[in-house]
Amino acid sequence: MKIGFIGLGIMGRPMALNLKSAGHELFIPDRGSLTQELRAAARVLGDAAAVAEQADIIVLMLPDTPDVERVLFGAHGVAEGLARGKLVIDMSSISPIATRDFAARIAAMGCDYVDAPVSGGEVGAKNASLTIMAGGSEAAFARALPLFEAMGKNITHVGAEAGAGQVCKVCNQIIVALNIQAAAEALTFAAKAGADPARVRQALMGGFAASRILEVHAERMINRTFQPGFRVRLHQKDLNLALSAAREMGMALPNTAIAQQMFSAVVAQGGADQDHSALVRAVEAMAGMAGS
């Protein structure tokens, strides 16, 4: 298929290359940051409108809600290049409420829309093993499925309404954040109490506390390897989405609010672009421990 891909950052770059490896023809907008590998793999066009004009399916992988709105509906945006029957797939993690509005505006142009945020980080993107959570009609999901299979392993059609995928992703980010905070508190407690955090983690991995967070993120905390797989500022953004939606629904997410504030503390320490496992730095600071 002819695939337009917009948003070629840490996650988008390997996702696009996996689509190329699966045999699809790739169109991307020109940017100074494009690698030679991407330029060789794709046809490089002037802007998002030109990409949408040439492609049958347009995939977005952008940082936040305003970015998606600008790329879709701004000057020289995707909407300017759409024709009836095309499919837009937004794999960004953005507001479920805004997603419903975007989908309605695209549908009014005679095109399909699927929201399909992902989990799995840079490693999952490179290995084509992402978890993909999709919202949209059965027909639109069926069109998108071959692309999802080239980028991910655990693919779920969450619901037929636009925004269902984004709701699922917000749920994912709540659970991940609270587990990162739990691991950070446990390891900081162990160190403060005089135990070896690495040995504590090793012991916990064999018990009921075992988890992917304890396996991956706790090891990063111990080794102080905070190079971003998923940046603090992006997880902070996702928790803000959760809290904003909860406020609109009249419900409380108390532990999510605490985790969001812990990420804010890491940002205040200059860690906005570190991996979200760097939340441990905020916990250590509260414990009066010098971390790096």
- pTM score above 0.85: yes
DSSP 231: B
Q: Distance of alpha carbon 52 from its chain centroid, rounded?
A: 22
- The whole-number pLDDT of residue 131 equals 97
DSSP 32-82: TT--HHHHHHSEEESSHHHHHHH-SEEEE--SSHHHHHHHHHSTT-HHHH-
- The whole-number pLDDT of residue 290 equals 72
228: nearest Cα among 178, 291, 272: 272
Question: Which stretches of 147-199 are assigned E, i.e. beta strand?
Answer: 152-159
DSSP 259-290: HHHHHHHHHHTT-TTSBGGGHHHHHHHHTT--
Crossing angle (nearest 10°) for helices 279-286 and 254-268: 90
Q: Distance of alpha carbon 58 from its chain centroid, rounded?
A: 17
- Catalytically annotated residue among 2, 126, 153, 169: 169
Tell me if residue 169 is catalytic: yes
- The whole-number pLDDT of residue 292 equals 61
pLDDT tens sequence for the chain (292 residues): 999 999 999 899 999 999 999 999 999 999 988 999 999 999 999 999 999 999 999 999 999 999 999 999 999 999 999 999 999 999 999 999 999 999 999 999 999 999 999 998 888 999 999 999 999 999 999 999 999 999 999 999 999 999 999 999 999 999 999 999 999 999 999 999 999 999 999 999 999 999 999 999 999 999 999 998 889 999 999 999 999 999 999 999 999 999 999 999 999 999 999 999 999 999 999 999 976 6
**Which of helix, strand or coil describes residue 232?**
helix
